[in-house]
Structure 1
């Protein structure tokens, strides 16, 4: 695989797209989650305040991000993605931007905000989890055998696993069309990259990072999420110094895809 072009900027490598007025008073940076790319925000974007400058980008290994950037050993944990985001924020000269992150993108946002705190003023985290594996009294939603089963099935037949995973992630109430859309998005990622990212997510434990984040945080959580239990959202609310937990009248792990109007309404007062 060729090395990334050292002369190209982080914005170019991550295919940054800027929406809204370039001279806006407020900037919003959206960080997508696993199995998606920046296009997952398309239904949310028109529902946001048009006075905002909104920045979207593709994380390493996803979408149209420069494929040469994805060197496996760099992305065996979430810190590689967080370093990318921090570099991108510096490249864009962000100051007091508002970060909205989904799922693993939410925790990438937390780690990046700790690395470059002045780049962000507050964070909104959708379906975030600092750890997926149960640990004593901590209920992350998965036991060791559950995670091992995910690895076995995904490694044996990634396409088949994506077809099974997608409807569970989207939620039964949201219908087959959105599940098929998400399955196509999952399968657009080369399996070896997707499996590396999946391992980085499921093996992560960033509980100790939460008390260090002094930014105001809005936690958005659906009523039923098969991958992030409500107990995890409450754990984050209890361990982040400045956090508000808001439950959405929705189900599934991707409410910005399945219920974008609700997500926009929940975000609106936080973005002011």
Structure 2
């Protein structure tokens, strides 16, 4: 069985058109893009997939050794693109998937040639003058809670991700978190929140859009501004809203931002 089949991957859209691959963040699945991806279905080939250990991905795809770093996830996405015979792809990643996109681009720069980072952070932990939004003890407390209370952390995290006033998104996120296997959720959370990809950013040569929410407690403005400064030529667009999941809460603005970013001839 091919990797794409085990990761619930699909390729839709007119043959010969540019390619967008949408990759979800922690605890979620490809369905999180349902309000954004269809807007591109008439003039793009669209790839959707579930990362190992997430949503409808075959449980056998998750390897606690290989997926102890984001590199393993980047390799999986590149394998899917290779199986589909795709290159010159725009990688649209939400949250931690933005850094998966960075790693995929650095490993295969002719395959992943543009990056769209939705609510990204290269490092969630404050470090000297760098403000990631959390202290090391904050992350320790979160992971301890997830380990000790496997069925009790989801509501609080879902509320933080959705943002105040987005009850429908909060409920959907909580349900998605609850469906994630506890051991997978804990390891992916550790890989996400203790990860540090800041040193990778200056090596990015792909045109990049940083799509930042003004009020995001998971990935604050300082995190997006840092990425924007570190990636030469990147474009930063700020959404005047709140929450960490604008593709669920403000999908029309996300679609508009992506279309505005793509070069003439690609849109």
- The interval holding the TM-score normalised by the smaller chain is over 0.9
Could you tell me how far apart the structure 1 residues matched to 2:216 and 2:100 are? 20
**Does the residue aligned with 1:100 lie in a helix, a strand or coil?**
strand
Q: State the partner residue of 2:126.
A: 134
- Shift in Å, 1:127: 0.8
1:228 paired with 2:219, answer yes
2:35 to 15, 40, 43: 43
Q: State the partner residue of 1:104.
A: 96
**Does the residue aligned with 1:158 lie in a helix, a strand or coil?**
coil
2:153 to 161, 171, 181: 161
Aligned alpha-carbon RMSD (Å): 1.2
Q: Give yes or no for contact 2:104–2:112 (8 Å, CA) kept in 1.
A: no
Could you tell me how far apart the structure 1 residues matched to 2:197 and 2:211 are? 18
1:71 paired with 2:75, answer no
1:181 paired with 2:188, answer no
Could you tell me how far apart the structure 2 residues matched to 1:205 and 1:79 are? 12
1:258 paired with 2:264, answer no
Q: Give yes or no for contact 2:22–2:37 (8 Å, CA) kept in 1.
A: no
Structure 2: gaps (5+ residues):
none
Number of equivalences: 263
- Shift in Å, 1:212: 0.6
Could you tell me how far apart the structure 2 residues matched to 1:228 and 1:116 are? 26
Could you tell me how far apart the structure 1 residues matched to 2:37 and 2:5 are? 21
**Does the residue aligned with 2:43 lie in a helix, a strand or coil?**
coil
The one-character-per-residue Cα deviations of 1:196-236 (angstroms, maximum 9, x if unpaired) are: 10011111111111011100000001111111110110100
Could you tell me how far apart the structure 2 residues matched to 1:89 and 1:47 are? 21
1:19 to 2, 12, 23: 12
- Shift in Å, 1:95: 1.6
Could you tell me how far apart the structure 2 residues matched to 1:238 and 1:226 are? 20
Could you tell me how far apart the structure 1 residues matched to 2:125 and 2:23 are? 23
Could you tell me how far apart the structure 2 residues matched to 1:95 and 1:177 are? 36
Q: Give yes or no for contact 1:94–1:120 (8 Å, CA) kept in 2.
A: no
- Shift in Å, 1:49: 5.6
1:247 paired with 2:238, answer yes
The one-character-per-residue Cα deviations of 1:138-173 (angstroms, maximum 9, x if unpaired) are: 111111110111011111112211011111110012
Q: State the partner residue of 1:61.
A: 53
The one-character-per-residue Cα deviations of 1:116-139 (angstroms, maximum 9, x if unpaired) are: 111122111001111111111111
Name segments (4+ residues, structure 1) moved above 3 Å: none
Could you tell me how far apart the structure 1 residues matched to 2:214 and 2:158 are? 18
Q: State the partner residue of 1:3.
A: none
TM value normalised by structure 1: 0.94
Q: Give yes or no for contact 2:19–2:44 (8 Å, CA) kept in 1.
A: yes
TM value normalised by structure 2: 0.95
Q: State the partner residue of 1:216.
A: 207
Q: Give yes or no for contact 1:86–1:113 (8 Å, CA) kept in 2.
A: no
